Structure 1
Amino acid sequence: MKRRALITASLLAAAAAAPFQAAQAQDYPARPIRLVVPFPAGGATDLFARTLSQKLSEKLGGTIVVDNKPGAGGAIGSSAAANATPDGYTLLLATTSTHAIGPLITKTPYDVVSDFTPIAHVGNAPSIMLVPVDSPAKSVREWVDYAKANPGKLNYASSGVGTIVQLTAELFKSQAGVFVTHIPYKGTALAIPDLISGKVDVLFDSLPTGMPHVRDGKLRALGVTSLKRSPLAPDLPAIAETLTGFESNTWFGLYGPKSLPADMVARLNKAANEALADPQLREKLSGLGIEPTSGTPQDLAKLQAQDSAKWKKIITERKITNE
């Protein structure tokens, strides 16, 4: 009898909670939504978040407030989002660094699969292969031949050990079969002067920061790291045209904490896709060097898994560690 009474009470409680949850979903958002950015204000991820949040707010009919929580390579902000209540009022703009590369190099206080709910893949940021203007190579093929003819004599710059910049270069080395020495810097901005002067032989940098030097005639761009030519630089060949299948993008994904209700995920995904289809937003993002994307939560989860596997292979093969 006691067991029957407990079951009955549980069923009644669930029945009572259902209308309340439905009402919550219907009223959403009833207060500002916090979008956690796990990097400092003014950076690419922050600028993307602030640009996207304006249009996303319109589609949701509410307010989105960007909350910068930088530190530990994005782990501090990501952890804050993972531990938030799964009510749709805390979201995270994650990147390749936080959800595909970082956990492979450093132990994080969260699991990138089980502690988050994928919502939408919202953008890609390809990089470009830059060399000094007096480099003998005027194409990706010529640079590969040049490196093979000078094994161990060339070097590449990166923004630090374990960053997407380093891994992109190591992926290139692996596919091209060349030996090039790594020179880490504290950010690509610090490497640019040495690249211009010829102290560094190659750098894979973002489009917004690299292309101005190309237009000024200070550097030469050989290719873009997206699988196909980028609409952001249509005249620049894809490196994959020389090295089949080569691809390296910094992707951006919208996530919620684990156990985010499915109806809320669907609503957020729909709003994100509609926002990213807006021509004005797409133009603004292009100015930031970001290609807007769209898709289902499952698409984002698949991208994350594929990218993690790809970079794990490179990290293992090249024995990359942050120690």
Structure 2
Amino acid sequence: MIMRRRMMLLSLSALVATRARAQSYPTRPVRFLVPFIPGSAPDVIARQIAERLSPALGQPVVVENRPGSGGNIGFTHGARAANDGYTLILGTNSLVINPALYARVEYDPLADFIPVHLPFAMPHLLAVSAEAGPRDLAALVALLKAEPGRHNYASGGNGSGAHLAAELLKSRAGVEAVHVPYRGAPDIINAVLGNQVLFGLPTMSTAMPLVTAGRLRAIAVTSPQRSPALPDVPTLAEHYPGAEVVSWFAVMVPAGTPAPIVARVDAAIRGLFADQAWVARMTADGTIAVNMGHEEFAGYYRGEAAKWAELVRLSGARVE
């Protein structure tokens, strides 16, 4: 009995101490871990969030890049970080794609992280050469059906969002095309413009300047709804229900981070969206302002893990 009381007192003391730390959080700079290179789309978005999150939390939020292995190095580092709220992790689709894509990863996307907030997402554009490409999605699909396996498409690498979006299109439309992996969105665009491939699916923010310049033709977007930046371009889902793929950029923390700290960060990020001028600047290139809080994001995140694992299986992609 005495031992049980001692254990209860210790547990109560630990709970009180945790709540006290959470109420005073943060008392020192917060690290924002980005598992990708400086200048990449995730890095740019992370820095925009960090810059505004610093005054919201009352402490500096410092971006730290840990790139490599498709994000796995940074994600593994984040999973092993202290769960005290002083390490935030920039999560992307890669966090849930990589366990299905790579032969081995050293983290569990569901067990090792808490999804805090989903601020932004970015669709892909199904793009062709404005000079030589099909006029619209129907013409592209008709060509692929007429000449199965003859035409190529470009992606940013095996298991990338562009690759899996194309595989989803192939599955829904019942067509064949040969996958040619490149290193990223700029290479996808160059391959399309150089007629090395028939089509590609670069991220919208990267492709928009060339669409505006009339060099690329956008024939579909992969977002659930049409983009305000390209209101005349249909979504893939308008033709093939369920063919929706967006690259999302979220804030995560290591598992075990106290709930009051999760709530504090979640609320601080949600508050950033009161600045309508900032939101307008962030979404001018087709980026989607999602502003999805912790509770809703947690359910969405579980669904994304299952969805992307299935897309990887359909694509047959594998990285050893």
Aligned match of 1:197: 194
Instruction: Select which of 284, 293, 296 maps to 1:299.
Output: 296
2:99 is aligned, of 72, 84, 103, to 103
Q: 1:101 to 1:238 in 2, by over 3 A?
A: same
Equivalent position to 1:70, from 48, 67, 70: 67
Native 8 Å contact 1:129 1:205 kept in 2: yes
Tell me the secondary structure at the aligned position of residue 169 of structure 1. Answer: helix
> Could you tell me which amino acid in structure 2 is paired with residue 109 of structure 1?
E
Shift of 1:198: 1.7
Q: Distance in 2 between matches of 1:196 and 1:136?
A: 9
In the TM superposition, what is the alpha-carbon distance from 1:289 to its structure 2 partner? 4.2
Does residue 142 (structure 1) correspond to residue 120 (structure 2)? The answer is no
Q: What SS class does the counterpart of residue 18 from structure 2 fall into? A: helix
Hey, what's the Cα distance between the residues in 1 that align with 2:238 and 2:113?
Answer: 36
Matching of residue 158 in structure 1 with residue 119 in structure 2: no
Q: CA deviation at 1:251?
A: 0.9
TM-score, with structure 1 as normaliser: 0.93
Change in 2 beyond 3 A, CA 1:188/1:19: closer
Match of 1:175 in 2: 172
User: How much has 1:75 moved relative to structure 2?
Assistant: 1.1
CA distance in 1, matches of 2:258, 2:186: 42
Number of the residue aligned with 2:28: 31
In structure 2, give the amino acid aligned to 1:82. A
Partner of 2:7: 10
Q: 1:145: how far off?
A: 1.2
Q: Which residue of 1 aligns with 2:51?
A: 54
2:315 equivalent in structure 1: 318
> 2 CA distance for matches of 1:163 and 1:46?
17
**Are 2:221 and 1:224 equivalent residues in the alignment?**
yes
Q: Following superposition, which runs of at least 4 residues in structure 1 exceed 4 angstroms of deviation?
A: none
What amino acid is the match of 2:234?
A: P
The alpha carbon displacement at 1:288 in A equals: 5.5
The superposition leaves residues 160-196 of structure 1 with CA deviations (integer Å, 9 ceiling, x where unpaired) of 1111111111111111111111111122312322311
Aligned-residue RMSD, C-alpha: 1.7
Q: Residue 188 of structure 2 contacts residue 202 of structure 2 at CA under 8 Å; is this kept in 1?
A: no
Q: Identify the residue that residue 249 of structure 2 maps to in structure 1.
A: 252
One-letter amino acid of the structure 2 residue matched with residue 8 of structure 1: R
State the AA in 1 paired with 2:268: A
Question: Counterparts of 2:12 and 2:302 in 1: how far apart (Å)?
Answer: 37
Q: Is the 8 A contact 1:93 1:255 kept in 2?
A: yes
The whole-number CA distance in structure 2 between the counterparts of 1:182 and 1:263 is 46
Structure 1 Cα separation of the partners of residues 310 and 9 of structure 2: 51
Structure 2 contact 130–214 (Cα < 8 Å) conserved? yes
Aligned residue in 1 for 2:266: 269
SS, match of residue 22 in structure 1: helix
Identical-pair percentage: 36
Aligned pair partner of 1:122 in 115, 119, 129? 119
40-49 vs 140-149, greater mean Cα deviation: 140-149
The letter of the residue matching 2:167 is E
**1:5: how far off?**
2.5
Which amino acid is the alignment partner of residue 124 of structure 1? Answer: A
Structure 1, unmatched stretches of 5+, are none
CA distance in 2, matches of 1:103, 1:276: 32
**Matched residues, number:** 319
Distance, in Å, in 1 between the alignment partners of 2:287 and 2:221 is: 13
8 Å contact from structure 1 (residues 160, 166) kept in 2: yes
In 2, the alpha carbon distance for the partners of 1:30 and 1:14 equals 24
The superposition leaves residues 47-69 of structure 1 with CA deviations (integer Å, 9 ceiling, x where unpaired) of 10110112222222222111111
**1:116 to partner: Cα distance:** 0.9
Shift of residue 202, structure 1, vs aligned partner = 0.2
